[in-house]
């Protein structure tokens, strides 16, 4: 018997559903193919589809005369159902039907405003297979995508935007354009490190590396993590995430990627993390400090989305570079987005671009909620993930990582591993500061050395005057007064922010290159008082530094003065609060 009456009854029920309830409805998208490659039903057949709700009541029954392909779209209330498909071959010229055959059934779920796709392949006489894919509500709507695209196209600078919507489709503006990385790549370093240690929770030492690298964007720790995972692990991770433009060589800060790459990575980032450390990775990427929440999170959180993100900022030859990439979750809805910008006239302009895109994606209500009582937007000033304080910046000092993000630091006077055997006063934080021209030129040295697989390790940079006085007192107290005036100055160029002590490291493993002992205050410390490999390495460092405005002090192979001299001897501590 044909089931037309039942179909009409279902249609009437659908029309009688209250308007308020219709908002909670979804769509069943049923698709069936008959595979005739190994034969078909001799006289034809009829296809039957039945859908029952969680209580077993029939909510949909349909009958179709045999077709090679058929498709049925049916609105259903959100909930759980069971769909059954079977065939009834014809006999006697289709005047009668044979018993049901080639049946298959699956439970499924319909989400509010979502779409549940059921794909059935019928093989006559050999059964059928059924696959189910549940798709959440489409977010964001097409109108918001168009608004975001128009907005970013109107902004100054070089901009790209990519978004993977809740159904896994990619949208964007110049999504394949490649950019140099800023700190956004630290999310990849986190995942690569967790994959390297295997399916276990990170140890305390692991967390001391990974936590600050993500939450406060610590560059020194990122370099340590990078040395452990290497380029190969990052490339393998990029392939697993479906990233198509990612490259990296010798430095995490020299990675290149596109907005589409980062959207793909964040869309699946937690699936790439071993199960036992997945919650840890998600917690870090949702716990970025407030002053680095430059763009998306204000609007996504106001719209009710959990947000996992990483941002980055650095100067380039074009201007200010500002990036951010993120994944967003709200119930079954998941999407990801990346905005990469370069050539901005200022950091504030770049962060405004991020916020403008997010405001259009998450809608008017989120924008209104985010703007109520929000106060100043974090990121309108250069981010304080750079070392130093406003007093240091007023004195002209800059963090060397601003110009050389991958440079390593190990301030010896902040430890007991120096000639005095004690930590010097004024050294409380691992801050490598120099006058801005010197810091900028040091970045050029680092980029030049990187081509040969080498990098810089800073042993001392700006030194508070109180530390210099402590060195002189130590020499006089221990009978080493002859060092004062030759190796130790009462007023040092380090106090001006114009001098730096450093050595070379191999980028492949982070190990120091053989140069001789640091702080060996005697003839052995003279730059040219060496031979063989030691001399060649010292000259490699000397030539690289001199090429970019530094001069070596001949008595100390590690000491270099910049051509731009400061005008004041400073006694600002390195994070000691006094």
Mean pLDDT (the chain) is 87
Model pLDDT for residues 135-155, shown as the tens digit of each residue: 888 899 999 999 999 999 999
Compute the distance between CA of residue 390 and CA of residue 369 in angstroms, rounded to an integer.
Answer: 32
Same domain, 96 and 225: no
**321 and 344 in contact (C-beta within 8 Å)?**
yes
Confidence of residue 122 (pLDDT cuts 50, 70, 90): very high
Same domain, 162 and 311: yes
Mean pLDDT of 352-373: 78
Q: Tally the domains of the chain.
A: 3
Mean pLDDT of 169-189: 95
Is residue 336, in this structure, part of any structural domain at all?
Answer: yes
Same domain, 271 and 396: no
- Torsion sign, CA atoms 142, 145, 151, 152: negative
* Residue 447 pLDDT: 87
Confidence of residue 326 (pLDDT cuts 50, 70, 90): very high
Residue 405 has pLDDT above 90, yes or no: no
Model pLDDT for residues 183-242, shown as the tens digit of each residue: 999 999 999 999 999 999 999 999 999 999 999 899 889 999 999 999 999 999 999 999
* Residue 67 pLDDT: 78
* Residue 373 pLDDT: 39
CATH of the domain at 444: 3.30.1380.10
Confidence of residue 377 (pLDDT cuts 50, 70, 90): very low
Total Cβ atoms within 10 A of residue 473:
12
Model pLDDT for residues 414-439, shown as the tens digit of each residue: 988 888 888 999 999 889 999 999 99
Same domain, 180 and 120: no
Is residue 296, in this structure, part of any structural domain at all?
Answer: yes
Residue 119 has pLDDT above 60, yes or no: yes
Of the candidate ranges 58-62, 94-98, 296-300, the one whose mean pLDDT is the lowest: 94-98
Q: How many helices (H) and strands (E) does the chain have?
A: 15, 23
Reduce the DSSP state of residue 335 to 3 states and report it: strand
Same domain, 429 and 555: yes
Q: In 216-319, which ranges are continuous DSSP H helix?
A: 219-241, 259-272, 278-285, 297-302
Q: How far is CA 422 from CA 415, 427, 486, in A?
A: 7, 11, 22
* Residue 294 pLDDT: 83
Is residue 575, in this structure, part of any structural domain at all?
Answer: no
Same domain, 32 and 91: yes
Model pLDDT for residues 509-529, shown as the tens digit of each residue: 678 899 988 877 878 889 898
Last residue of a domain, one of 87, 118, 135: 135
Query: What token pair was written down for 555?
Result: 């008595």
Query: What token pair was written down for 9?
Result: 């009854």
Compute the distance between CA of residue 343 and CA of residue 358 in angstroms, rounded to an integer.
Answer: 20
* Residue 383 pLDDT: 42
Which pTM does this prediction carry?
0.58
Model pLDDT for residues 295-323, shown as the tens digit of each residue: 999 899 989 999 999 999 988 888 889 99
- Using the CB atoms, write b or e for 280-319: b if 16+ within 10 Å: bbbebbbebeeebbbbbbbbbbbbebebbbbbbbbeeeeb
Compute the distance between CA of residue 49 and CA of residue 36 in angstroms, rounded to an integer.
Answer: 20
Same domain, 334 and 429: no
CATH of the domain at 199: 3.40.710.10
Q: How many CA atoms lie within 13 A of 3 on its CB side?
A: 17
Same domain, 402 and 352: no
Confidence of residue 17 (pLDDT cuts 50, 70, 90): very low
* Residue 4 pLDDT: 37
Same domain, 125 and 50: yes
Same domain, 425 and 286: no
Residue with tokens 């160029």: 493
* Residue 508 pLDDT: 67
Find, among 337, 367, 313, 357, the residue nearest to 152 by Cα: 357
Is residue 381, in this structure, part of any structural domain at all?
Answer: no
Question: Could you list the residue range(s) of the whole structural domain that residue 445 is in?
Answer: 390-562
468 or 17, which is more confident: 468
* Residue 366 pLDDT: 67
Q: How far is CA 408 from CA 182, 234, 506, 511, in A?
A: 16, 20, 11, 11
Highest mean pLDDT among 5-9, 29-33, 573-577 belongs to: 29-33
Compute the distance between CA of residue 454 and CA of residue 315 in angstroms, rounded to an integer.
Answer: 22
Same domain, 396 and 314: no
What is the percent of the chain where pLDDT is above 90?
Answer: 60
Last residue of a domain, one of 90, 117, 135: 135
Compute the distance between CA of residue 313 and CA of residue 232 in angstroms, rounded to an integer.
Answer: 25
Confidence of residue 577 (pLDDT cuts 50, 70, 90): low
Last residue of a domain, one of 108, 135, 162: 135
Same domain, 88 and 170: no
Residue 390 has pLDDT above 90, yes or no: no
Length of the chain measured in residues = 578
Residue 572 has pLDDT above 60, yes or no: yes
Q: In 257-389, which ranges are continuous DSSP H helix?
A: 259-272, 278-285, 297-302, 347-371
Model pLDDT for residues 552-570, shown as the tens digit of each residue: 998 899 999 999 988 889 9
Model pLDDT for residues 68-88, shown as the tens digit of each residue: 899 999 999 999 999 999 999
CATH of the domain at 130: 2.60.40.180
């Amino acid at each position: 018997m044909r089931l037309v009456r039942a179909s009409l009854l279902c249609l009437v029920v659908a029309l009688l559903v209250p308007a308020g309830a219709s908002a909670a409805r979804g769509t069943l998208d049923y698709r069936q193919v008959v595979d005739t490659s190994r034969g078909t039903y001799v006289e034809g057949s009829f296809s039957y589809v039945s859908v029952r709700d969680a209580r077993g009541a029939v909510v949909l029954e349909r009958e179709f005369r045999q077709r090679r392909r058929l498709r049925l779209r049916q609105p259903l209330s959100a909930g759980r159902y069971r769909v059954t498909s079977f065939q009834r071959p014809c006999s006697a010229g289709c005047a009668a039907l044979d018993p049901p055959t080639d049946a298959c059934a699956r439970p499924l779920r319909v989400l509010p405003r979502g779409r549940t796709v059921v794909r059935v392949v019928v093989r006559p006489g050999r059964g059928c297979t059924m696959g189910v894919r549940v798709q959440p509500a489409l977010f964001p709507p097409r109108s918001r995508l168009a608004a975001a695209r128009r907005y970013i196209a109107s902004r100054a600078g070089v901009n790209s935007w990519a978004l993977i919507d809740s159904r896994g489709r990619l949208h964007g503006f110049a999504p394949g354009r490649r950019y140099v990385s800023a700190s956004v790549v630290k999310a990849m370093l986190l995942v690569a490190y967790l994959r390297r240690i295997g399916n276990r929770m990170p140890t305390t030492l692991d967390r001391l590396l990974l936590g600050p690298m993500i939450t406060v964007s610590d560059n020194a720790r990122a370099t340590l993590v990078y040395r452990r995972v290497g380029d190969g692990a990052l490339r393998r991770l990029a392939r697993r995430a479906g990233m198509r433009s990612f490259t990296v060589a010798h430095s995490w800060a020299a990675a290149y990627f596109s907005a589409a790459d980062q959207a793909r990575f964040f869309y699946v980032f937690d699936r790439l993390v071993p199960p036992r450390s997945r919650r840890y990775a998600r917690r870090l990427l949702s716990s970025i400090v407030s002053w680095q929440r430059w763009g998306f999170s204000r609007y996504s959180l106001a719209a009710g989305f959990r947000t996992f993100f990483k941002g980055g900022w650095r100067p380039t030859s074009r201007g200010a570079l500002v990036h951010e990439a993120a994944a967003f979750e709200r119930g079954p809805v998941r999407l990801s987005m990346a905005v990469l910008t370069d050539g901005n006239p200022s950091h504030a302009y770049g962060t405004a671009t991020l916020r403008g895109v997010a405001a259009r994606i998450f809608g008017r209500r989120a924008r209104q909620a985010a703007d109520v009582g929000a106060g100043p937007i974090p990121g309108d000033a250069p981010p304080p993930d750079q070392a130093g304080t406003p007093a240091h910046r007023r004195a002209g000092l800059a963090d060397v990582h601003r110009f050389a993000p991958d440079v390593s630091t190990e301030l010896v006077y902040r430890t007991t591993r120096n000639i005095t055997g004690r930590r010097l006063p004024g050294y409380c934080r691992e801050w490598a500061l120099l006058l801005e021209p010197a810091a900028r030129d040091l970045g050029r040295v680092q980029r030049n050395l990187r081509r040969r697989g080498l990098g810089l390790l800073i042993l001392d940079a700006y030194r508070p005057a109180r530390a210099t006085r402590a060195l002189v007192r130590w020499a006089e107290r221990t009978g080493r007064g002859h060092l004062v005036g030759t190796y130790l100055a009462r007023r040092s160029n380090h106090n001006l922010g114009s001098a730096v002590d450093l050595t070379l490291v191999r980028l492949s493993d982070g190990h120091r290159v053989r140069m001789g002992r640091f702080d060996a205050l005697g003839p052995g410390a003279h730059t040219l008082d060496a031979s063989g490999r030691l001399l060649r390495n010292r000259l490699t460092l000397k030539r690289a530094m001199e090429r970019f405005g530094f001069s070596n002090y001949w008595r100390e192979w590690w000491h270099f003065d910049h051509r731009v001299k400061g005008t004041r001897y400073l006694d600002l501590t390195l994070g000691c609060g006094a």
